[in-house]
Amino acid sequence: MSNPGGRRNGPVKLRLTVLCAKNLVKKDFFRLPDPFAKVVVDGSGQCHSTDTVKNTLDPKWNQHYDLYYFEISCHRR
């Protein structure tokens, strides 16, 4: 069967790559932070966190996450 309008059925996958952060703010005078990044997709229950990188203001993660969403179609009458 053809797919009218080119729309997909089911979830759509989005690949997200968290590369790095640069020049983070140092909040503690005596030590460097242990940063991580958190990705949350509103309303979907999807939540991912990168690994923690110890003692740096310039963390590098290069971590990949597959996120899924469902296209919601609205029909006007």
User: Helix-strand-coil percent breakdown of the chain, rounded to 5?
Assistant: 5, 40, 60
Q: What is the dihedral of CA 47, 42, 22, 60, to 10 degrees?
A: 20
* Residue 64 lies inside a defined structural domain of this protein: yes
Per-residue pLDDT of 26-46, as tens digits, reads 999 999 999 999 999 888 889
Confidence (pLDDT) at 74: 63
* Residue 24 lies inside a defined structural domain of this protein: yes
Per-residue pLDDT of 43-66, as tens digits, reads 888 999 999 999 999 999 999 999
Q: Does 4 score more than 60 pLDDT? A: no
Task: Indicate the number of domains in the chain.
Answer: 1
CATH number of the structural domain spanning residue 19? 2.60.40.150
Better-predicted residue by pLDDT, 2 or 32:
32
* Residue 49 lies inside a defined structural domain of this protein: yes
| Domain containing residue 42 | 13-70
